[in-house]
Amino acid sequence: MKTIFTFLILISLISCAKNNDKADGYGNFEATEITISAEANGKIDFLKLEEGNILEPNTQVGLVDTIQLYFNKQQLIASKSTVFSKSKNVLSQINVLREQLKTTLIEQKRIQNMFAENAATKRQVDEITGKVNVVNEQIKSVGTQNAPIVNEVHSIDVQIEKINNQIYKSKIINPIKGTVLAKYAEPNEVTSFGKPLYKIANVSEMTLRVYVSETQLAQIKVGQNVIVKIDSKKDMKSYSGSISWIASSAEFTPKIIQTKEERANLVYAVKVKVKNDGSLKIGMPAEMWIK
């Protein structure tokens, strides 16, 4: 009888020890998910990705049809050539007037020298000066004709750059390194600006969001190393983690985390960065253990 009583006491002590062996925080893994949307309207020529693919940053994974943009650009280039031809005519007139001005200035200098030697009259000096002024005014007048042409060329250049930007945005460029979580479109479908194409997230490093009580705040700090555990077949699998953020204000415990009684308690959210070996998934529950 005494042996049975001792055995029952041992069982009770072990049970109490297990109950006290609780994690310091509970939560779920999350990652920053980015939804990549179309920036152009038209048919999708190709979209080279599937769910689960790991994509590198700044790589083209798709293209929205650009044929109409190409034709518009070629039309603007042709218009620019036509406008340039007008400008060449104006510039040729200016060159002719400048040559005429050179000849007139030479004649003016000759007559001024003759006037200094009393070989020419004041009237001749005034006449040649008038001719110089007339040619200068003609050059200015023709120059003003070229200003609207230059502005027209500039306007066409702006329109071409605008189309170049639209062509660039027709390319579907993956912005970050990550894993494709969902694919929303297929090649040959017609898309529009802002329509989601796929969702991607960098899951090489996961974030575990856990909740701790006010009394536990004194035990943790940003940069502190902790143990993160997830469920496995035999025993819990452990990972090394580092606290990256601690909330500055309290909140009620999320309903999915604790029991009805514990949900009424105020807690503080904590983020723990964990390197992913491929086993960690978004939404997976986990525990945080303070070393």
**pLDDT tens per residue across span 185-225:** 999 999 999 999 999 999 999 999 999 888 888 899 999 99
DSSP states of 8-67 as a string?
HHHHHHHHHHHHH---SEEEEEE--EEEEE-SS-EEEEEE---TT-EE-TTEEEEEE--H
Query: Domain tally for the chain?
Result: 3
Structure tokens at 114: 């003759």
The answer as to whether 18 is a domain residue is no
The answer as to whether 4 is a domain residue is no
pLDDT higher at 271 or 130: 271
Nearest one of 245, 261, 240, 248 to 210, comparing CA atoms: 245
pTM of the model: 0.68
For the chain, state the CA radius of gyration.
40
Q: For the chain, what is the mean pLDDT?
A: 85
Query: For residue 2, is pLDDT > 50?
Result: no
pLDDT higher at 19 or 113: 113
Same-domain pairing of 187 and 230: no
**pLDDT tens per residue across span 81-94:** 888 777 777 777 78
Predicted local distance difference test score (pLDDT) of residue 255: 59
CATH number at residue 212: 2.40.30.170
Same-domain pairing of 87 and 163: yes
The answer as to whether 15 is a domain residue is no
d(CA 272, CA 29): 9
Same-domain pairing of 76 and 59: no
Same-domain pairing of 124 and 241: no
Predicted local distance difference test score (pLDDT) of residue 8: 33
Structure tokens at 218: 């004194």
Confidence label for 50 from pLDDT (cuts 50, 70 and 90): very high
d(CA 115, CA 172): 78
Query: For residue 19, is pLDDT > 50?
Result: no
Query: For residue 3, is pLDDT > 70?
Result: no
Domain residues for 162? 67-170
Last residue of a domain, one of 170, 187, 213: 170
Same-domain pairing of 277 and 135: no
**pLDDT tens per residue across span 95-141:** 877 888 888 898 888 888 888 888 888 888 888 888 888 888 887 87
Same-domain pairing of 80 and 148: yes
The answer as to whether 110 is a domain residue is yes
DSSP states of 158-191 as a string?
HHHHHHHHHHHHHEEEE-SSEEEEEE---TT-EE
If you average pLDDT over residues 285-289, what whole number do you get?
94
d(CA 161, CA 65): 18
Same-domain pairing of 253 and 113: no
Same-domain pairing of 42 and 60: yes
Same-domain pairing of 80 and 127: yes
Structure tokens at 224: 């502190």
Predicted local distance difference test score (pLDDT) of residue 9: 35
Predicted local distance difference test score (pLDDT) of residue 273: 97
Q: Are 230 and 222 in contact (CB under 8 A)?
A: no
**pLDDT tens per residue across span 68-77:** 999 999 999 9
